[in-house]
Amino acid sequence: MRTFCCSGLLYLLALNPITGWAAPQKPCKYKVKESIAPPNGWVKHTTPPADHNIVLRIGLPQPDFHVLEQHLYEVSDPYHPRYGAHLSKEEVDRLVAPHQGSVDAVNEWLSSHGITEGGLSRSSAGDWVTLKLPVRLVEEMLNTTYHVWKHDNGDRIVRTTSYSLPEDLHDHIDLIQPTTMFGQFKELKSTIVFSDDTEAPAQFKNLAPIVNAATGVPVDASCNATITIKCLQQLYNAVGFTPTHAGNSIGITGYLEQFANIQDLQSFYADQRPDALGSSFEFISVKGGLNNQTLSEAGAEANLDVQFAFGLSHPIPGTFYSTAGRPPFDPDVGTPTNTNEPYQDWLDFILSHPNPPLSISTSYGDHEQTVPKSYAQRACKSFAQLGARGVSLMFSSGDGGVGDNNPNPATQKCFTNDGRNATRFIPLFPASCPFVTSVGGTVGVPEVAVSRFFSGGGFSDYFARPKYQDKVVRKYLEALPKGTYKGLFNRNGRGIPDVAAQGDRYRIFLSGQARLIGGTSASSPTFAGIVALLNDVRLSNGQPPLGFLNPLLYSKAASGFNDITVGHNSGCGTTGFNKDGIQVTGIQSFTGLGTPNFGKLKKLVS
């Protein structure tokens, strides 16, 4: 027998010998767990039906995450004796599992409301509990009241602005959502930019190749107008390299009904990679995600990602994940619709997989402040789990410069959504997570920062600057003119992006037609393809894959990048961060360490 405070009652628990769950006896005290002001644009509208279902996600603490983080940095540091000694799925699960006391406390709380083990699901490590409940029961459990909230644009959502838990549960639960996360489930705002042109302009044809000063490799002049697989191989010194190791792999994530069309992929291969004709990718559905093959339903984002990531890394086996669902978020004035991705659903799935792809690219992201900090931190810890297992994760840094690249300063929306409405640069998440590699964009030969749109970059407000980039970021900040953008960014935050790659005028096939497309959503799968090639070098030498890249990139491999010396990342009515006139190499601004030189990197990583 033992006492437990739960659901507003003090319970005397007679434990079930099989489940350990029990039933209530006496009252106890609630305490607010989280409370927010209603976000801009939302007003209470009506009361939801009592039987309206909510899929509730309960995050249990990960008390040993600091141990996992230590392992992650040791196995990712090329100068550490444990470099490359990645952990197994089972080892990672043990390091992020909640204490049994937390599991028991949550079980008992759920049992007090009639919820049994059969009515819920648990993540691979047991750190997330997911269940579907009617709103009337959720209100009782959280001592709160949900409302239908209406946005200025007419959208509606069922949420609350505050929820409470019994005091004894506060140490056993990190967060519960959806509660205070407001969202509007509409189409994705990806980091993608279109062009109606499909061919290189005549003035670029029949010109002599341009010798890339950074690599010494000739690059077709047409690459100044149209990016192909051949251009990327030339630009990044990967001409003639053919992957051979059977154990290699690469993956692309897809969200919000973005379908990767196989017929378009074959047209792309016929156009740019004829040796890959007839090959395809493995499709994996997450949470009921689809990959419809009607040509008219082909997704620009999905086609771009799979065509260039898999085309550049052929014949390395590729996997395309389609995740269904649209998650909640706190909207800011610059993001009035739901542009977050269901990262946690995909993460739960991939973390349960014994052999995830070794190089994975995601071309979606959102303003960091639109994702509640508690949710962002938990998702970031999930990325760390993958890194510890030997997976390299790439994310686009975004196309908004330091926040909003709207050319009209009067309509740019660069201010906080915390009630202060303070002017602020807005970094992108998940790119701001220190456990992923953020990829910015370049254009042209020689490469400069993109001019038709602006490579996202800046400094996180959620995550502190990690040790691996401390030296280079400090040098850059010291080189900035004194007082530059004082108060507009967090000088102690994690800097993004880490690296860069071409980001404009990629020639893809979409619904049977050639199109030119751009955005850092092109840069990320390109860099992921290069990482897959580097993994092939290591695997062929009997070495483990690269895994979490950043400690390597900022140290031993830093000389394997082409520094970008020209450009800036405008936004928020400013020119953003820049390199113009700043004589510091390898700086962190809008292109990070620069673009990859595969010829150098394959020697540095082997």
Lowest mean pLDDT among 23-37, 66-80, 529-543, 581-595: 581-595
Mean per-residue pLDDT over the chain, rounded:
86
Q: Are residues 354 and 403 in the same domain?
A: yes
* Sign, Cα dihedral of 265, 266, 270, 276: positive
Q: Are residues 170 and 270 in the same domain?
A: no
Q: Are residues 28 and 165 in the same domain?
A: yes
Give the C-alpha separation, 38 to 524, whole Å: 35
Domain assignment of residue 572, yes or no: no
Q: In which residue are the tokens 């992108």 written?
A: 428
Domain assignment of residue 188, yes or no: no
Give the C-alpha separation, 456 to 576, whole Å: 10
Residue with more model confidence, 570 or 111: 111
Q: How confident is the model at residue 412 (pLDDT cuts 50, 70, 90)?
A: low
Last residue of a domain, one of 177, 203, 231: 177
DSSP 456-471: --EEEEEEEPPGGGHH
Q: How confident is the model at residue 387 (pLDDT cuts 50, 70, 90)?
A: very high
Q: Are residues 135 and 246 in the same domain?
A: no
Domain assignment of residue 515, yes or no: yes
Q: How confident is the model at residue 250 (pLDDT cuts 50, 70, 90)?
A: very high
Q: Are residues 409 and 534 in the same domain?
A: yes
pLDDT value of residue 509: 96
Residue with more model confidence, 182 or 468: 468
Q: How confident is the model at residue 426 (pLDDT cuts 50, 70, 90)?
A: confident
Check pLDDT > 60 for residue 326.
no
Check pLDDT > 90 for residue 23.
no
Give the C-alpha separation, 522 to 155, whole Å: 31
The answer to whether the beta carbons of residues 593 and 550 sit under 8 Å apart is no
Q: Which two tokens stand for residue 301?
A: 């984002």
SS3 of residue 420 by DSSP? coil
Residue with more model confidence, 330 or 544: 544
Q: Are residues 203 and 58 in the same domain?
A: no
Q: Are residues 249 and 363 in the same domain?
A: yes
Q: Are residues 197 and 287 in the same domain?
A: yes
Task: Write out pLDDT tens, residues 122-148.
Answer: 999 999 999 999 999 999 999 999 998
Check pLDDT > 50 for residue 8.
no
* Domain range for 406: 193-462+500-548
Give the C-alpha separation, 374 to 383, whole Å: 15
Lowest mean pLDDT among 174-178, 197-201, 215-219, 527-531: 197-201
Longest dimension (CA), the chain: 85
- Among the listed residues 34, 301, 368, 404, the single catalytic one is 301
Q: How confident is the model at residue 193 (pLDDT cuts 50, 70, 90)?
A: low
Domain assignment of residue 81, yes or no: no
pLDDT value of residue 404: 67
- Which contiguous run of DSSP H or E holds residue 379? helix 373-388
**Other CB atoms within 10 A of residue 377 CB:** 16
Task: Write out pLDDT tens, residues 302-324.
Answer: 999 999 999 999 999 999 999 88
What average pLDDT does the segment 377-381 reach? 93
- Which contiguous run of DSSP H or E holds residue 96? helix 89-96
Q: Are residues 293 and 440 in the same domain?
A: yes
- Among the listed residues 127, 139, 305, 332, the single catalytic one is 305
Task: Write out pLDDT tens, residues 64-110.
Answer: 999 999 999 999 999 999 999 999 999 999 999 999 999 999 999 99
pLDDT value of residue 371: 76
Domain assignment of residue 272, yes or no: yes
576 torsion bin: left (phi>0), alpha (psi -120 to 50), beta (else): left
Query: The domain that contains 367 carries what CATH number?
Result: 3.40.50.200
- Among the listed residues 521, 523, 524, 570, the single catalytic one is 521
Domain assignment of residue 589, yes or no: no
Domain assignment of residue 570, yes or no: no
Q: How confident is the model at residue 12 (pLDDT cuts 50, 70, 90)?
A: very low
Residue with more model confidence, 335 or 443: 443
Q: Are residues 50 and 146 in the same domain?
A: yes
Given the DSSP bridges, would you call strands 437-443 and 448-449 parallel, antiparallel or unpaired? antiparallel
What average pLDDT does the segment 149-166 reach? 85
Task: Write out pLDDT tens, residues 253-292.
Answer: 998 789 999 999 999 999 999 999 999 999 999 988 999 9
Q: Are residues 209 and 117 in the same domain?
A: no
What average pLDDT does the segment 47-76 reach? 94
What average pLDDT does the segment 426-439 reach? 93
Q: How confident is the model at residue 453 (pLDDT cuts 50, 70, 90)?
A: low
pTM of full prediction above 0.85: yes
Check if 220 is active-site: no
Domain count within the chain:
2
* Sign, Cα dihedral of 331, 332, 333, 337: negative
Q: Are residues 352 and 306 in the same domain?
A: yes
Check if 363 is active-site: no
CA 579 distance to own-chain centroid: 26
Last residue of a domain, one of 526, 548, 570: 548
For residue 67, which phi and psi values (nearest 5 degrees)? -70, -45
Q: Which two tokens stand for residue 344?
A: 């946690």
Task: Write out pLDDT tens, residues 489-522.
Answer: 999 999 999 999 999 999 999 999 999 998 889 9
Check pLDDT > 60 for residue 577.
yes
Domain assignment of residue 567, yes or no: no
Check pLDDT > 80 for residue 436.
yes
pLDDT value of residue 198: 66
Give the C-alpha separation, 258 to 220, whole Å: 32
202 by Cβ neighbours in 10 Å (0-12 / 13-18 / 19+) ranks as exposed
Check if 152 is active-site: no
